[in-house]
Amino acid sequence: MTQALPGRARPLERRRRLIQWLVAVGANLNLPGFFTGQIYQGASKSVCVPFLNCYSCPGALGACPVGTVQSFAVNRAVPWYALGTVLAAGGLAGRAICGWLCPFGLLQELAHRGRRVMRPIPVLLTRLKYVIMVGMLPAAAWIVGAGGFGTTYFCAYICPAGTLEAGIPLLLANASLRALAGWVFSWKIAILVVLSAASVAYYRPFCRTLCPLGAFYGLFNRVAVLRLRFAEPLCARCNACTAVCPVGLDVPATPNSPDCILCMRCTQVCPTGALRFGLHETAVATTRAASVEEVK
Amino acid sequence: MRYSACAPTEGIGRSLGVKRLSRSNAWGWALVGLGVVLAIVGIWQGELRDVFLKAALICLECMGLR
């Protein structure tokens, strides 16, 4: 499906991009760390951010919830604080966290920038993120190595954010760490290269196929306080929303799908105001026929 | 098919009478509340210190070095 982004969707898209940049820079403000090869060790490191942002990134000021949850699981402890943080964030805004705040999502969007062809991703691949989400904690807790402890398997073997935000900058700046690089690092670089290439062709491939945090937030899309509001009686079936959806959803058929990242392009192009993001349902006329006729 | 450029729902609301779809935000608020409670429980149990101890040291696993 090919569709240029209509002009009326662009102001919100620019605002979203600005917010993504502000969050990405604000969450990684320890800029000297990129040159010294050291990570930030201030008090804010005890605060879990609600999005994927590796805490070993030299610039990171906060803690990644995925890494935190896994490290607690390794110690067979329940991460109440990290779980509470992501639960509250998910209950408040669902995957809008992915669409508006996640720095790794921003990087993938930048790689995809300018491409208008929306390629669907095979459904089986989009289900992988749920397998990772469900398997991550038990694996960290119960699949143990020689020392009797598990490891943060997602971070160690999959997470491309850790490779890009922490591995590459720290290895470039820190010679002692470079000496430790082995096959696991090569494997993670390979994953990063594949996902980077995929990001050029596909919109946010990591978010859609592998991210356990995105899978978790997606579960809340239908019940989050701030969510997409679809007033079916107002829908003119013009499919303008579906045409601009970057993740290829049939928006009227599946509003608030777990795969929706709430970029809100659809709300901007809907000619009848049937789609809206917010706290309350849209006020609608009592019959669809009457309402659609009214706006013709 | 042509559409009006103004916000159509307001006009419809005035001319035809509106109803607000009654889907509640109760589940969403309940999840937010539960999340806040869990976070407070975690903080009360001293998890901030544990998170700090993990996040303030270079994580070799995250970088693929171990």
> Per the structure block, which two tokens stand in for A202?
């596909």
The yes-or-no verdict on residue B63 having pLDDT over 50 is yes
> Per the structure block, which two tokens stand in for A199?
């990001």
Write out pLDDT tens, residues B38-56: 999 999 999 999 999 999 9
* Res B47: pLDDT: 96
Choice between B25 and B41, residue whose per-residue pLDDT is larger = B41
Bridge partners (DSSP) listed for residue A283: B20
Cβ distance of A225 and B37 shorter than 8 Å: no
- What domains are there in chain A, each with its CATH number? 7-218 (no CATH), 227-295 (3.30.70)
Which residues in B lie closer than 8 A to residue A63 (C-beta atoms)? 51-52, 54-55
Write out pLDDT tens, residues B1-13: 333 333 444 444 4
* Res A118: pLDDT: 75
* Res A136: pLDDT: 84
Distance between the two ends of chain A, CA-based, in angstroms?
26
Which ipTM did the prediction report?
Answer: 0.86
Confidence of residue B14 (pLDDT cuts 50, 70, 90): very low
Least CB-CB distance to A84: which of B37, B57, B66? B37
Write out pLDDT tens, residues A224-282: 999 999 999 999 999 999 999 999 999 999 999 999 999 999 999 999 999 999 888 76
B5 and chain A: CB distance < 8 Å anywhere? no
- Could you give the C-alpha distances from A285 to A39, A266, A272, B15, B20, in angstroms and in order? 56, 21, 12, 9, 9
Least CB-CB distance to A83: which of B7, B38, B45? B38
* Res A145: pLDDT: 72
**Cα B48 from Cα A79, distance rounded (Å):** 10
A201 and chain B: CB distance < 8 Å anywhere? no
Give the residue ranges of chain A where pLDDT is below 70.
Answer: 1-4, 116-117, 146, 282-296
- Could you give the C-alpha distances from A250 to A189, A237, A246, in angstroms and in order? 34, 11, 11
Least CB-CB distance to B52: which of A45, A84, A171? A45
* Res A137: pLDDT: 76
Pick the closest to residue A207 from A136, A261, A152 (CA basis).
A261
